[in-house]
Structure 1
Amino acid sequence: MQESFDGRCLREVADKVEVHLDTVEQWVAIFKLRGIAGLLRKPWTLNDEKQKEVEQKIKNLNALIHQSPSLYGINRTSWRTEDLAAVYSKVYGVVLTRSTVWNYLQRQGYRFRKAKEVLTSPDPKFREKLDKITSILNNLKPDDRFFSIDEMGSCGIRAKVGWSYTEPGEQKTVKAHQKAKAYIICTAALELTTNQVTHFYSRAKNTDEMIKLMEVLIEQYRGMRKIYLSWDAASWHASSKLKERIKEVSARAYRKEHGTPAVELAPLPASAQFLNVIESVFSGLAKAVLHNSDYKGADDCKQAIDRYFSERNAYYLKYPKRAGKRIWGKELVPAKFSPDQNCKDPRVRFNGKKKSQALKKPVNN
């Protein structure tokens, strides 16, 4: 308003605030009649139809931000709001302004941060791999099972910070530098159709542990036709030794003798941990039994993790229709695969260090 009364062209004002010229002219007229009070926005709510439209736009926007701008002909390594607005309009045929895009991103908790937390995948085969996983899930048969797989840790057993109720004036403190009492790695698989977690503890992250998990799953799911294993692009998830073992157990003669299902890989795109559904489960686990903890050793910590997964599995067996609700330590997203959600919580660090640093520590099994 001040700029318009200072003589600035109303069209320039409209361009600056990204609204139509007629809207600015209406604002000026209202201001002259009723002052600033007339411009204050009155409380209002969206009807159900409009609310669904907004939710769909947010889902579409999340799906876009998970992909690299270069896939849409933009010569940048990260998204800008103006680029997202332009691409959204081109892809979905609906015009979104920069301010609307920014508003939707803020509502989802997105912030512009350093590259280590950017929710995009540089994988040139991103769409191809995503389409394959989506196709598998859309055509999953009753005797098929799909697993989201990853390793949590290594996790240092030490006093950890976290939220808790405190008395007035009380301030809990945790030493910044502590020697870990032990380290653990939890290898786990989340079955998406039943929301059941299978887990065990590993001494390292390598091919042998992945073969062990695969063999545990085919024994646990005897009688199924096929199981799909989906995980990130870590080298031990795609080794020749692992692929050879999968070929062996998927052979007709082996399956007939042991009554086990065939195994097929459905790898995620590179740097796409935000699509790995089990990351959300790990986030809920960390908030429930790791944050604000001070376990005496590895055994105490493992007991808490075992109980967490046992209770979670029991709940979803009893209430299968509720699978995906944000319970058990407030998991980030529903336990289902979707390209428009972020399963990885960048605030959750199991060892207080980067993953690469944590792997250098010895692990107590």
Structure 2
Amino acid sequence: MILAARGRPNASIAVETGVHVDTVRTWRGRFAEGGLPALADRKRSGRPARFPPVQVAEAKALACQLPAETGVPLARWSCPELAAELTARGVTDSISASTVRRWLRQDAIRPWQYRSWIFIRDPDFRAKAQRVLDLYARTYEGEPLGADEYVISSDEKTSIQARCRCHPSLAPGQAKAMRVNHEYGRGGALAYLAAYDVHQAKAFGRCEATTGIVLVMALVEQVMAQEPYAGTKRVFWIVDNGSSHRGKTSIDRLAARFPNAFWSTPPG
């Protein structure tokens, strides 16, 4: 809409935003008919989801365990056995094997396929997973989040190699393949700290020589110092159980610096 307000044609907007021109035309038409409120999501047809996200998460967490660890005399889980176990544990009243199979098939990471993975079963898994999944669904303690409440997902990635090719790639031409030089100029290893507004699709990041409490707080400062986060009601930060943001000391540190910001950690 901003580009349209500047007088840009549909084709130009489509190229710049990477969407089809028909999509641009549709959204401009909706705005012309109903103004800004018309850009909000419309009510979707179809039956509401029967299983909440926390039940899906518990099913995948169970799939990550060896059956023997839960006292089930099986070498590995099958979808019917998983469905039966979920019902026996009271996770669901009833569930079909095909539903469990669909959940597992749709997962992008599929950690249950890796035996070398470390699966930590937090005794408070359900409560912690429920809180995080609710925030992703714009709910907190049973109440919908307001327009002045935001959810930020944050993480740190260490030891990323900073490097670039010594010579740029040469573009292909007629009867000539692209030529790519294989030598790199290495700039050492860096850490990347990232924050992502999960509902506004906005990303923030910074490169540092290492990670730590001071640098994590620098990322928080980078986000919280700008609007809409600086002056909004609440900003929920979803972080892992890393030492830079774990425990009551970290919670108190964040609250003292930004009274409207809150840590929320998934089960670990």
For normalisation by structure 1, the TM-score amounts to 0.43
- Give secondary structure in 1 for the equivalent of 2:253: helix
Q: 1:247 to 1:79 in 2, by over 3 A?
A: farther
- Give secondary structure in 1 for the equivalent of 2:237: strand
C-alpha deviations, 1:46-80, integer Å up to 9, x for none?
A: xx98xx89x978x865651134659xx9337x961
**C-alpha RMSD over aligned residues:** 4.4
Tell me the number of residue pairs that the alignment of Structure 1 and Structure 2 aligns: 199
Q: What are the within-5 Å matches in structure 2 for residues 25-44 of structure 1?
A: none
* 1:264 partner amino acid: F
Aligned to 1:122: 121
Identity of aligned residues (%): 16
Shift, 1:102, TM fit: 5.5
Mark the runs of 5 or more structure 2 residues left unpaired by the alignment: 1-44, 166-171
1:231 pairs with 2:216: no
- Give secondary structure in 2 for the equivalent of 1:201: strand
Distance across 2 between alignment mates of 1:115 and 1:209: 34
Shift, 1:234, TM fit: 0.9
Q: What are the within-5 Å matches in structure 2 for residues 42-57 of structure 1?
A: none
Q: What are the within-5 Å matches in structure 2 for residues 1-365 of structure 1?
A: 63-67=58-62, 74-75=70-71, 80-81=77-78, 83-90=81-88, 91-96=92-97, 105-106=104-105, 108=107, 110=110, 113-117=113-117, 121-136=120-135, 137-138=138-139, 139=143, 140-158=145-163, 180-220=186-226, 221-238=229-246, 242-250=250-258, 262-270=260-268
Q: 1:130 to 1:117 in 2, by over 3 A?
A: same
Shift, 1:208, TM fit: 0.8
Structure number with greater CO (CA < 8 Å, separation at least 6) is 1
Shift, 1:114, TM fit: 3.1
Distance across 1 between alignment mates of 2:111 and 2:233: 43
The answer to whether the 8 A contact 2:153-2:197 is kept is: yes
* 2:200 partner amino acid: T
Shift, 1:113, TM fit: 3.3
Distance across 2 between alignment mates of 1:131 and 1:111: 20
Distance across 2 between alignment mates of 1:105 and 1:131: 19
- Give secondary structure in 1 for the equivalent of 2:193: strand
- Give secondary structure in 1 for the equivalent of 2:196: strand
Q: 1:269 to 1:111 in 2, by over 3 A?
A: closer
Distance across 2 between alignment mates of 1:106 and 1:89: 20
C-alpha deviations, 1:54-111, integer Å up to 9, x for none?
A: x978x865651134659xx9337x96115313224552413427xx856764565648
Distance across 2 between alignment mates of 1:111 and 1:207: 29
C-alpha deviations, 1:303-342, integer Å up to 9, x for none?
A: xxxxxxxxxxxxxxxxxxxxxxxxxxxxxxxxxxxxxxxx
- Give secondary structure in 1 for the equivalent of 2:225: helix
Q: 1:144 to 1:104 in 2, by over 3 A?
A: closer
Q: Which is helix-richer, 1 or 2?
A: 1
Q: 1:174 to 1:233 in 2, by over 3 A?
A: farther
C-alpha deviations, 1:250-289, integer Å up to 9, x for none?
A: 4xxxxxxxxxx5111111111xxxxxxxxxxxxxxxxxxx
The answer to whether the 8 A contact 1:156-1:181 is kept is: yes
- Give secondary structure in 1 for the equivalent of 2:71: coil
The answer to whether the 8 A contact 2:192-2:205 is kept is: yes
The answer to whether the 8 A contact 1:211-1:242 is kept is: no
- Give secondary structure in 2 for the equivalent of 1:85: helix
